[in-house]
Amino acid sequence: MRRNQSNTVHSGELNRPVKLFKLVGGANQFGERKGTKQQVGGVKFCKRIDSVGSEDSEGQQNHMRRASFIFRYDPTLLVDGPTYIIEDVDGDFHVSGIGLTGQQKRFLELEAQSKD
């Protein structure tokens, strides 16, 4: 019997070092997250899957980078993940969603985006 390879994550693919941060200080009057970044833990390794999008705001087209970051299962990421910022070599990505993935649900996929 052959497994679905699209849902398979191998440990060797978790080769991208990133840092996780949490914003301390709340939101501004428009609901945007503001404050100072506070690092959560040390460097973590993940797999990054890129995609590109755009957003139309007040008649202007804004380029938006989207990426999925796949980490080993960690209960703190599952609970607090949507409030995190992922610092990568390409900049900061704000986490917008989280889900379980991989064989036996041993990995977490954090959906994130960065505006340019």
Domain residue limits, the chain: 17-86+102-115
Q: Which residues of the chain have pLDDT under 70?
A: 1-7, 26, 31-33, 52-62, 115-116
DSSP class per residue in 83-110: GEEEEETTEEEEEEEEEEESGGG-EEEE
Token pair belonging to 68: 């999925």
CA torsion angle 95 98 103 106 (round to 10): 80
Of 75, 72, 84, the residue nearest 109 (C-alpha)? 72
Token pair belonging to 115: 């505006």
Cβ(77)–Cβ(69) below 8 Å: no
pLDDT of residue 103: 74
Q: State the pTM of this model.
A: 0.76
